[in-house]
Chains A and B, each alone.
Chain A
C-alpha cells in the first residue's frame, strides 16, 4: 500500500477492474438492503429486482419490444443530428481556427452558447419549428454544435506553427497550408470534439423527446413517470447510460483506428 498516495502509479488492470466492480456491487447491495428493509416506500425507490423485471417487461412484452423500438428512434434522431453537427460544425470550426478574422467575427455568436441554458431554447424551437421531428433534431443539433465548434477551432489553433511555415516554404498556397499541413494534424482532436458532441446529445435526448413524444427512450421514461412506474424510469435511464457508454467506446475505438499515429507521438 506504499503506492496508495501516488497519482503516477495506477493499479494494474486486474486490480482496477476489481475495485470498479466492487464499488458498483457495494452500491447495488446498499440499494437492495434499503429496498428490502422497507425504510423507503416502493413508490419512491424501486428495488433492483423490480428494475430488472421492468427491463424485461420493456424488452419483450405482448409480442413486441418497446425498448427496441424506443432505442431505434432515439438512436436514429441522434445519428441525424450527429451527421448535421459533423457536416456543419466541423467546417465552421476549421474556418474559424484557420482564419482569425472569421473567428473574431463568429466567436461572440458561438462561445456564449456553451454556457447558455440550451434547454430554455426548447420552447422557442417549438414556437418556430412546431412539435415534429425537425424540432427535436434541431434541439440536439444546437445543444451539441455549440460545444463542437469551439473545440474544433481550438484543435486547429493548437497545431504548431512550424507545420504551417514548413508548408509555406515549400510553396503551398495558404489554403494548401491549411488543408495539407494544419487540418491533418488537428484531426485527432477534431475526433475528440465529435466524441464530446455525441455524449452531449445523449444527455439531451430525453429533453428533446419530452415534447410531443410518441417514440423514443425519452418518451418511454416520460410515459412511465406519468404512471409512477419508477422501476421503468430507472430501467430507461440505465439503458440511456449504457447506450451513451457504448457510443463513447465505439467512437474511441474508431478514432484509434483512424489516427493510430496520435498515440505514438
Chain B
C-alpha cells in the first residue's frame, strides 16, 4: 500500500451522503512509564471514499479505537494526537469534533433521567442542531427512527427499564437521527450477550439499507467483521499497522451457509494467520 500524496478531490453536494475520509500516515505515541515512548499506531494510511461498512479488525488493545476516535475528532486529554500524520475529511484536515460524524460507543451514554424519546432527540437540545431544523421535523424523524430500531412502543420508558441491547438501540437511533455522513462504531456490540449481538448485527444491516453512509466499525470479533463488512481492514497490534485490507462481495445479510462456505472459511483463516504473525499480545474472538 502506497500513501496517496494528494487528498481526494471532495464532491461536496450536501444532499448526497458521499464523503471521503483520508487517514494519512498516522503515528500515535504515548509517553511510557520507562521514560521513553510507546508507539501504538505506526504509519497507518487508509482511504474511505464511498458509502459502505468498513470493519477495523484487530486484537483488543491494538489502538484501533484510538484511530476511530481520531476520525470523530474526540481526542484524549494531555496527549498530542495524532503524533504525526493527518485525518482529512472531504479534503479538510480534522482537528477536533466535527459534525460530519457521530460515534456509537460500547458504553452507551444514555441519560437515565430522560425518556427513550428524549434520549434519541438529545442532539436537538444542543445549539448546533436545534437551529438547523424545525421542531416538528426532527420530532417526526425521532419517531421514524424509534420505529426503525423497534422501540416505538417504548418511547416513554427510561433507560433503566430497558435491556442492554435496547439501550444500544437508543444510542444507534440517536446517532442516525442526525443523518451523519460518517457513522463511527467503537465495538458497539462487544458487551452484549451472543443472541442480542446477533439481533443487533441484523438491525445494523437493516438500518444501513435505509440510511446508507460511511460506517467505520471497530471490532475484535473476526466473525462479526466477515458478517458485516463490505471491507475488512486487519490491524496488527503494538504498534497497529495495516496487515491486510480486502473486500467481501457477498451481499448482506450473509447466511449461515455462506459463513460455513469455503470462501468465508478461507477469509477467516487468512485473517487469523495475519494476526498470529504479528508479535503483540491481545485477543480476537471467533464465533463458530
Contact between B129 and A171, CB atoms less than 8 A apart: yes
B16 within 8 A of A: no
Q: How far is the CA of A173 from the CA of B174 in the complex (A)?
A: 18
User: In the complex, are the beta carbons of B113 and A171 less than 8 A apart?
Assistant: no
| Contact of A168 with B160 in the complex, beta carbons under 8 Å | no
A163–B109 contact, CB under 8 A?
yes
- Number of B residues contacting the other chain (C-beta, 8 Å)? 27
Q: Which of A165, A172, A180, A261 makes the CB contact (< 8 A) with B112? A: A261
Check if B105 is an interface residue, CB within 8 A of chain A.
yes
Give bound CA distance, A264 to B97, whole Å.
Answer: 33
Bound-complex Cα distance A184 to B123 (A): 15
Bound-complex Cα distance A187 to B101 (A): 30
> Which of B97, B112, B158, B178 has a CB less than 8 Å from the CB of A168?
B97
B128 → chain A closest CB, angstroms: 4
Residues in B whose Cβ lies below 8 Å from that of A262: 112
Q: Which residue of A lies closest to B99 (CB)?
A: A171
Q: Which residues of B contact A169 (CB under 8 A)?
A: 72-74, 97, 101-103
State how many angstroms separate the Cβ of A145 from the closest Cβ of chain B.
26
Q: How far is A261 from B116 in the complex, measured between Cα atoms in Å?
A: 13
Give A contacts to B, CB under 8 Å: 160, 162-163, 165-173, 176, 180-181, 184-185, 187, 259, 261-262, 264-265
A166-B103, A261-B158 given; name 20 further pairs at CB < 8 Å. Answer: A162-B105, A165-B109, A166-B109, A167-B109, A169-B102, A169-B103, A170-B102, A170-B122, A170-B178, A173-B128, A176-B126, A176-B127, A180-B126, A184-B111, A185-B111, A185-B113, A187-B113, A261-B113, A261-B159, A265-B160
B residues near A (Cβ < 8 Å) are: 72-74, 97, 99, 101-103, 105, 107, 109, 111-113, 122-123, 125-129, 158-161, 174, 178
